[in-house]
Amino acid sequence: KKVADRYLKREVLGEGTYGVVYKAIDTKTGQTVAIKKIRLGKQKEGINFTALREIKLLKELKDPNIIELIDAFPHKGNLHLVFEFMETDLEAVIRDRNIFLSPADIKSYIQMTLKGLAFCHKKWVLHRDMKPNNLLIGPNGQLKLADFGLARIFGSPDRKFTHQVFARWYRAPELLFGTKQYGSGVDVWAAACIFAELLLRRPFLQGTSDIDQLGKIFAAFGTPTSSQWPDMVYLPDYVEYQYVPAPSLRSLFPMASDDALDLLSKMFTYDPKVRISVQQALEHRYFSSAPPPTDPPKLPRPN
Ligand code: ADP
- The closest alpha carbon to 40, from 86, 74, 88, belongs to 74
202 vs 94: CA distance, rounded Å: 7
Task: State yes or no: is 210 an active-site residue.
Answer: no
- Yes or no: say if 231 and 219 are a contact pair by the CB < 8 Å rule: no
The proportion of the chain whose per-residue pLDDT surpasses 90, expressed as a percent, equals 74
What per-residue confidence (pLDDT) applies to 68?
A: 92
Total Cβ atoms within 10 A of residue 70: 19
Judged against a pLDDT cut of 50, whether residue 158 lies above it is answered with no
Catalytic choice (26, 89, 105, 129): 129
Residue 163: its pLDDT value, please?
37
Q: Whose CA is nearest to atom 1 of ligand 1?
A: 16
146 in contact with ligand 1, CB cutoff 6 A: yes
Which residue has its alpha carbon closest to ligand 1 atom 6? Answer: 16
Q: pTM for the whole thing? A: 0.91
In this structure, the residue with its CA closest to atom 23 of ligand 1 is: 85
Ligand 1 pocket member 13 (CB < 6 A):
yes
Mutate to test the pocket of ligand 1, among 9, 133, 142 (most ligand atoms within 8 A of CB): 133
- pLDDT grade, residue 87 (50/70/90)? very high
Ligand 1: which of 18, 21, 65 to mutate, most ligand atoms within 8 Å of CB? 21
Q: What is the DSSP string of the chain?
A: -EETTTEEEEEEEEE-SSSEEEEEEETTT--EEEEEEEE-TT-TT-S-HHHHHHHHHHHH---TTB--EEEEEEETTEEEEEEE--SEEHHHHHH-TT----HHHHHHHHHHHHHHHHHHHHTT-------GGGEEE-TTS-EEE-STTHHHHH--HHHH-TT--GGGGG--HHHHTT-SS--THHHHHHHHHHHHHHHHSS-S---SSHHHHHHHHHHHH-PPPTTT-GGGGGSTT-------PPPPHHHH-TTS-HHHHHHHHHHT-SSTTTSPPHHHHHTSHHHHSSSPPPPGGGS----
Least confident of 147-156, 233-242, 249-258: 147-156
Question: ipTM score here?
Answer: 0.95
pLDDT tens column, 173-196: 999 999 988 899 999 999 999 999
Nearest-CA residue for ligand 1 atom 7 is: 16
Q: Does the C-beta of 270 come closer than 6 Å to ligand 1? A: no
Residue 301 has pLDDT above 70, yes or no: yes
Q: Which of residues 18 and 241 earns the better pLDDT score? A: 241
In this prediction, residue 162 carries a pLDDT of 38
Closest ligand 1 atom to Cα of 67? 23
Q: How far is the CA of 240 from the centre of ligand 1 (A)?
A: 39
Residue 160 has pLDDT above 50, yes or no: no
What average pLDDT does the chain have? 90
